[in-house]
């Protein structure tokens, strides 16, 4: 049995809940690790997680859960009803990335996929294989501890997180109408922090993100006769520089907002004025209302620049993908953090710094953005450390925020969060989090 501290924690009923979770985790561990390695070796792109979801569904069914496949595409929902009480939803994600794995693992992926852009390599470089394996591990722990809790456990393996599509797809497929509406939603992500540690943060934790494609229309012609044309290159150039004034002049200085024009494409050669120009813009912020304001400012500026430049028709806007800011519910964070302190010891917990990365997890809790109506549902999203102790010790800097800058991050071909301690911690963190509501 693995314990993270020497002291045992006795719950209100005098039972050693920490030890019981640890024993169940240990009993399930080899199977979960074997599942993880299979998932890792066979990564799949967003909404194509056919093998992945089949393996997960089968594992959850074997554990006695009522499993439904194909929710929101390839999503899996597994429910265990165990008497009266609240409904807790645990979420893992399943999709991988078009990256060539270079971890040197003997179960590293060598898979590829065919896409519109050609053949791409595939890798679980964000550890979603770990997240969904931990959901299965927590499912085993909770099934083994059925006598110790009552309520409903709802587990989901979500497709397509990387393109911010899977959470919405599951909600649009009637997730809460069909399987019940949870009272709290719990999720986790691995990160470069000390393996065995767990990070929490109340309030704004991850950024809202919009990726916007824009077409600026001109009227093409000969480069020697600009007066007979409308030059979209000049309009686009003004747009790019003027967009910089949003963050510097329209956003309060205490707020963090990023506006990046990551793509600017027009024309074919020097003596041809092109017909149109294409931009792709990445917007990030931590406040959903401010985020909408920034996107509106971008549209206003581009429309006005097009008018100023005599554009023959209004610009076209297309949202490529989008997610809202992740705001952890403070009281729920505190409840889960206490359960994790009992499981792992206070010394294994850290205060999570805010991340500029984004997640589609918050759609599950946001009634308006998630489109499910009624009240928002409180959620807690925490972070499990994935860096082995030796590597952590030799990394320069103090604390998570400083050391993170020197470590491989998710989406790197070298990133590997699936060590045994991280997996054990991820399984126990989910089970302890659920039991904070159900035990």
Q: What are the respective helix, strand and coil percentages of the chain, to the nearest 5? A: 40, 25, 35
Contact 100, 167 (CB under 8 A): no
The DSSP element (H or E) to which 303 belongs, if any, is: helix 288-308
Site for Zn ion in 247-306 (CB under 5 A): none
CA dist., res. 212 & res. 317, Å (int): 7
Number of residues that bind Zn ion (CB under 5 A): 1
The contacts of residue 182 (CB under 8 Å, 6+ apart) are: 87, 88, 89, 154, 176, 377
Query: Which residue is catalytic, options 93, 101, 305, 428?
Result: 93
> Rounded to 5 degrees, what angle do the CA atoms 210, 122, 380 make?
50
Smallest separation, CB 53 to Zn ion (Å)? 17
User: Given the complex with Zn ion, which of 45 and 126 has the nearer CB atom?
Assistant: 126
Choose the binding region for Zn ion from 122-130, 367-375, 377-385, 425-433 (rule: CB under 5 A). Answer: 122-130
Residue from 126, 191, 407, 429 binding Zn ion (CB under 5 A): 126
Give 126 or 273: the residue with its C-beta nearer to Zn ion. 126
Q: How far is the CB of 207 from Zn ion (least distance, A)?
A: 14
Shortest distance in whole angstroms from residue 52 CB to Zn ion: 14
Q: Which of 56, 7, 59, 18 is nearest to 340 (CA)?
A: 18
HEC sequence for 5-73: CCCCCCCCCCCCHHHHHHHHHHHHHHHHHHHHHHHHHCCCCCCCCHHHHHHHHHHHHHCCCEEEEEECC
CB of 97 to Zn ion, least distance (A): 9
88 binds Zn ion (CB under 5 A): no
To the nearest whole angstrom, how small is the minimum distance from the Cβ of residue 383 to Zn ion? 11
- Write down the catalytic residue from 101, 129, 162, 360: 162
* Contact by Cβ (8 Å): 323, 362: yes
Segment interacting with Zn ion (CB under 5 A) among 57-65, 97-105, 121-129, 138-146? 121-129
The interface mask with Zn ion, positions 358-387, x = CB under 5 A, is ------------------------------
Smallest distance, Zn ion to C-beta of residue 175, A = 20
Would you say 191 or 306 has its CB closer to Zn ion?
Answer: 191
Picking from 301, 303, 300, 297, the residue whose alpha carbon sits closest to that of residue 251 is: 297
Which of the ranges 97-105, 123-131, 208-216, 315-323 carries the binding residues for Zn ion, by CB under 5 A?
123-131
Least Cβ distance, residue 431 to Zn ion (angstroms): 21
Report yes or no: 327 and 377 within 8 Å, Cβ to Cβ. no
Nearest alpha-carbon partner for 387 in 412, 411, 359, 408: 408
Q: What is the DSSP string of 164-187?
A: T-HHHHHHHTTHHHHH---SEEEE
Which residues are paired to 200 by β-bridges? 351
Residue 127 or 232 with smaller CB distance to Zn ion: 127
Give the nearer residue to Zn ion in terms of CB position, either 126 or 193. Answer: 126
Q: Which is nearer to Zn ion, 126 or 207 (CB)?
A: 126
Residue closer to Zn ion, measured from CB, 126 or 342: 126
Considering only the stretches 64-72, 118-126, 170-178, 337-345, report the one whose residues sit in contact with Zn ion under the rule CB under 5 A: 118-126
Residue 162 a catalytic site member: yes
Contacting range for Zn ion; rule: CB under 5 A; set: 79-87, 119-127, 215-223, 366-374: 119-127
Q: Which residue is nearest to Zn ion (CB)?
A: 126
CB atoms within 10 A of CB 234: 16
Q: Which residues lie near Zn ion (CB under 5 A)?
A: 126
Kindly list the catalytic residues. Answer: 93, 162
């Amino acid at each position: 049995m693995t314990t993270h501290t020497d002291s045992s924690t006795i719950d209100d009923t005098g039972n050693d809940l920490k030890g019981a979770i640890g024993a169940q985790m240990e009993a399930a561990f080899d199977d979960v690790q074997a599942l993880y390695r299979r998932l890792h070796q066979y990564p799949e792109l967003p909404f194509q997680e056919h093998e992945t979801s089949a393996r997960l569904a089968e594992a959850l069914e074997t554990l006695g859960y009522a499993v439904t496949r194909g929710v929101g595409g390839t999503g899996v929902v597994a429910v265990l009803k165990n008497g009266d009480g609240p409904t807790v939803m645990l979420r893992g994600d399943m999709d991988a990335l078009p990256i060539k794995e270079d971890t040197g693992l003997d179960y590293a992926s060598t898979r590829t996929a065919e896409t519109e852009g050609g053949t791409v390599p595939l890798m679980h470089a964000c550890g979603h294989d770990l997240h969904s394996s931990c959901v299965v591990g927590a499912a085993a722990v909770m099934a083994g501890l059925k006598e110790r809790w009552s309520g409903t456990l709802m587990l989901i393996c979500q497709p397509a997180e990387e393109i911010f599509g899977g959470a919405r797809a599951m909600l649009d497929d009637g997730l809460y109408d069909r399987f019940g509406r949870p009272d709290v939603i719990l999720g986790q992500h691995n990160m470069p922090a000390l393996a065995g540690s767990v990070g929490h943060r109340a309030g704004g934790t991850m950024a809202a993100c919009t990726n916007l494609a824009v077409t600026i229309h001109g009227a093409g012609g000969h480069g020697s006769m600009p007066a007979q044309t409308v030059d979209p290159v000049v309009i686009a150039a003004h747009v790019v520089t003027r967009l910089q004034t949003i963050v510097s002049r329209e956003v309060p200085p205490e707020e963090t907002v990023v506006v990046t024009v990551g793509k600017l494409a027009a024309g074919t050669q020097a003596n041809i004025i092109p017909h149109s120009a294409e931009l792709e813009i990445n917007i990030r912020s931590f406040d959903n209302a401010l985020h909408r304001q920034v996107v509106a400012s971008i549209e206003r500026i581009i429309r006005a620049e097009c008018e100023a430049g005599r554009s023959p028709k209004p610009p076209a806007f297309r949202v490529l993908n989008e997610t809202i800011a992740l705001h952890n519910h403070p009281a729920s964070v505190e409840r889960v953090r206490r359960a994790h302190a009992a499981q792992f010891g206070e010394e294994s917990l850290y205060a999570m710094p805010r991340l500029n990365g984004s997640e589609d997890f918050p759609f599950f809790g946001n009634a308006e953005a998630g489109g499910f109506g009624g009240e928002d549902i409180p959620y807690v999203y925490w972070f499990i450390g994935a860096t082995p102790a030796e590597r952590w010790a030799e990394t320069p800097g103090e604390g998570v925020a400083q050391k993170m800058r020197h470590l491989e991050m998710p989406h790197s071909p070298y990133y590997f969060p699936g060590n045994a301690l991280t997996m054990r911690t991820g399984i126990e963190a989910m089970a302890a989090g659920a039991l904070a509501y159900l035990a």
